[in-house]
Amino acid sequence: MTNRLASATSPYLRQHAGNPVDWWEWGDEAFAQAASRDVPVLLSIGYAACHWCHVMAHETFENPALAAQMNAGFVCIKVDREERPDIDSVYMAATVAMTGQGGWPMTCFLTPDGEPFYCGTYFPPARRGGQPGFGELLAAITQTWEQSRGEVDQIAEQARAHLAQTAAGLPDAGIPVDDDLARSATTALIADEDPINGGLGRAPKFPPSATMLALLRHDERVGSPEARAVVERTAIAMARGGIYDQLAGGFARYAVDEAWVVPHFEKMLYDNALLLRAYAQLAPRDGPVRELARRVCEQTVAFLDEVLGTPYGFASSLDADTDGVEGATYAWTPAQLVEVLGEDDGRWAVRTFGVTDAGTFEEGASTLRIVAPPDDVERHERIVEALRTARDRRPQPARDDKVVTVWNALAITALAEAGIGLHRTEWVQRAAWCAGELLDRHIVDGQLRRASLDGAVGEPVAMLDDHAALVVALLSLYCATGEQRWRTAALDLLDRAIETFADAEAQGSWFDAPADGGLIVRPRDPADGATPSGAALMGEALVMASMLADPDTAGRYNDLAAQTVGRAAILLARAPRAAGHWLAVTEAWLAGPMHVTASSADMLALAREAAPGYAVVTSAVESGFSADQPPETVLVCRGTTCSLPLADSEAIRSAVRPSWR
């Protein structure tokens, strides 16, 4: 027996198709059913790779008695937060307001009008550690609904008012976007570093990919050894830690400890795309991190291709669990290493990978990390290959094959930039293949869609971040290849995004979802999180378009870019940890923005090698820009001011590099 979710395009929803719960997908029909029955809506939000989502599913949603209680007293709706981030955003704001914290699985009780009146996250099936059992909670909600409706209505009304306030957008605080703002934000980020273990803040510790990119751009623009050192220490610590797969590459979502030893084992496409972009900025630089960054880039691209690659784009994630056990695929005991490698190599691996008798993870097992650089590189490579072969024979975590537009767009940008920076044309070609898949499959009747599964596009429309990230990706690909089709598609998509998501009453402010989303408020959260906010990505898209569009439209994009970056000033001033990508965009904006054109292949290679990461570099011949530019020259434009044609390599390097160098 299966429920309605059997036909869903989301693998997460399909995971619940066999539950005895009478699940509905989000939609008007489900809320109409709740109104006609006069019962609350039980909204459950999660995603396929989420460990605690699986726990609650097995403990609760597969429990016939609890499922019967859910069916009798509620209309139950299941949502994949990766398909519907707009729904997730609204009710996460409500959950945080009501409980002080958020997370997944998220459990919300709503009126038939969609107003939340009680929210939480994971609930155990029976009372545990001070938490009520789910059956108790359901009974209490039903009793309150039937006997204290006035109280429910009052809470729901207050929740709606609060959500409307949180979606109001950033005020125009009148803070100038200037060098002082960028320096103060950078100083605050540097002060937040964990100098012992690398990274920002304390446990749980997330990869600060956007902040790494921003600090590198700040260093390039004004010269900040401190900012660069923070990035290098973080990059080394993560690449040697348990959060990074030492056998096959790929970063886990976060570490539960301060020292990056034990990850939360799910691996997300977006983390690996964003980190590939950051490490690709480090790889061409001289210094102790150069070779490590190159290795991480190569292994991360291999992870994207070999582990997350599908015929239609890149899959969303790998599960945290294997057969219901978190980390079972990845953890090792000393005895297991000796069994695979033999006594001598096994003991060497125990020391090299920090595997202990007590274990660094659970039940005496350890995650693999590099406690010190291997003293025998050939031996290390041979042992890694043997362990990977042995690990491949273990049960493997499930994969969510859903192709999400924004996350694939982030991968396209990273592949294009890494391909150019590390001279790997096959990576640029891989980016072009993925972009072609998105344009061919995810645009239906002129409208961009959020996700697809096995080539079949789902119903949810694309959000602001989907549009903006894809514009950035296509413009990055255009810079890498010179092919006009990418620029044309990007600017068409950008115009559509401006029309759909711009706040007409507050220039430079953006809604995250279309106006007809059917939610109680139209969500808008400009703060960066695990991924850049849609508004920050829109800022990046507009900055790039202001340099790459034709002159008759570039001015419009430039004005919108200025207004958009200006809106973020209050975030950079007051909460820079929530504005990492904003800072990266602001650094590019303060640098001019800089557009470099080269009139030959040799000059293009020289310009790409010399230009900072915040610059846009194009071929004058292929792009059609600067048609009168003399052969074998480079033009360096900052904003509306361009240099004379430059032919001398030292003059070119001097022109593209900031004065402090």
CA distance 384 to 409: 31
Average pLDDT for 336-341:
97
Write out the residue range of the structural domain in which residue 334 sits.
330-394
Using CB atoms within 10 Å of the CB of residue 33, give its burial: 0 to 12 exposed, 13 to 18 middle, 19+ buried.
Answer: middle
Cβ atoms within 10 Å, residue 285 = 17
Contact 404, 271 (CB under 8 A): no
- Residues 6 or more apart in contact with residue 554 via CB below 8 angstroms: 545, 546, 547, 548
Domain count, the chain: 4
Q: What is the largest CA-CA distance in the chain?
A: 83
Query: Are 132 and 74 contained in the same domain?
Result: yes
* Better pLDDT: 661 or 605: 605
Q: What percentage of the chain's residues is helix, strand, coil (to nearest 5)?
A: 50, 15, 35
Contact 548, 616 (CB under 8 A): yes
Average pLDDT for 29-57:
95
Query: Are 417 and 565 contained in the same domain?
Result: yes
The tokens for 585 are 């965009």
171 lies in a domain? Answer: no
606 lies in a domain? Answer: yes
325 lies in a domain? Answer: no
Give CB contacts under 8 A, 24+ apart, made by 147-152.
Answer: 152/111, 152/117
491 lies in a domain? Answer: yes
Cβ atoms within 10 Å, residue 504 = 6
- In the predicted structure, residue 418 carries a pLDDT above the cut 60: yes
Instruction: Choose the final residue of a domain: 573, 590, 607.
Output: 590
- In the predicted structure, residue 309 carries a pLDDT above the cut 90: yes
* Better pLDDT: 288 or 536: 536
Query: Are 422 and 315 contained in the same domain?
Result: yes
Query: Are 122 and 240 contained in the same domain?
Result: no
CA distance 490 to 512: 19
Q: Which amino acid is at 164?
A: A
Query: Are 357 and 490 contained in the same domain?
Result: no
pLDDT tens-digit series, residues 4-24: 999 898 999 999 999 999 999
CA distance 75 to 451: 26
Q: What is the pLDDT confidence band of residue 659, given thresholds at 50, 70 and 90?
A: low
Q: What is the pLDDT confidence band of residue 562, given thresholds at 50, 70 and 90?
A: very high
CATH code, domain with 130: 3.40.30.10
Reported as half-sphere exposure (CB side, CA atoms, 13 A), residue 294 has a value of 12
The tokens for 242 are 């348990």
145 lies in a domain? Answer: yes
Query: Are 120 and 242 contained in the same domain?
Result: no
Tell me, what's the pLDDT at 450? 97
pLDDT tens-digit series, residues 369-402: 999 888 899 999 999 999 999 999 999 999 999 9
CA nearest 534: which of 566, 509, 558, 554?
Answer: 509
E strands within 156-262?
Answer: 254-255
CATH code, domain with 484: 1.50.10.10
CA nearest 316: which of 77, 12, 629?
Answer: 12
Distance of CA 426 to the CA centre of its chain: 24
Query: Are 183 and 299 contained in the same domain?
Result: yes
The tokens for 621 are 């011949």
pLDDT tens-digit series, residues 204-245: 999 999 999 999 999 999 999 999 999 999 999 999 999 999
324 lies in a domain? Answer: no
Instruction: Choose the final residue of a domain: 394, 422, 437.
Output: 394
CATH code, domain with 615: 3.40.30
Contact 186, 227 (CB under 8 A): yes
The tokens for 10 are 């989301």
Contact 316, 403 (CB under 8 A): yes
What is the Cα Rg of the chain in Å? 25
661 lies in a domain? Answer: no
Instruction: Choose the final residue of a domain: 538, 571, 590.
Output: 590
Tell me, what's the pLDDT at 623? 59
Query: Are 489 and 411 contained in the same domain?
Result: yes
Tell me, what's the pLDDT at 131? 84
CA distance 266 to 636: 43
Q: What is the pLDDT confidence band of residue 446, given thresholds at 50, 70 and 90?
A: very high
Q: Which amino acid is at 578?
A: A
Contact 333, 355 (CB under 8 A): yes
Contact 415, 434 (CB under 8 A): yes
Using CB atoms within 10 Å of the CB of residue 187, give its burial: 0 to 12 exposed, 13 to 18 middle, 19+ buried.
Answer: middle
488 lies in a domain? Answer: yes
Mean pLDDT of the chain: 94
Angle between helices 149-166 and 85-99 (to 10 degrees): 110
Query: Are 31 and 108 contained in the same domain?
Result: yes
Query: Are 432 and 453 contained in the same domain?
Result: yes
Q: Residue 254 forms beta bridges with which residues? A: 264
Query: Are 484 and 609 contained in the same domain?
Result: no
Place of tokens 């958009």: 564
* Better pLDDT: 337 or 375: 337
Contact 372, 378 (CB under 8 A): no
- Residues 6 or more apart in contact with residue 530 via CB below 8 angstroms: 206, 253, 268, 270, 271
Tell me, what's the pLDDT at 319? 93
Q: What is the pLDDT confidence band of residue 102, given thresholds at 50, 70 and 90?
A: very high
Query: Are 444 and 577 contained in the same domain?
Result: yes
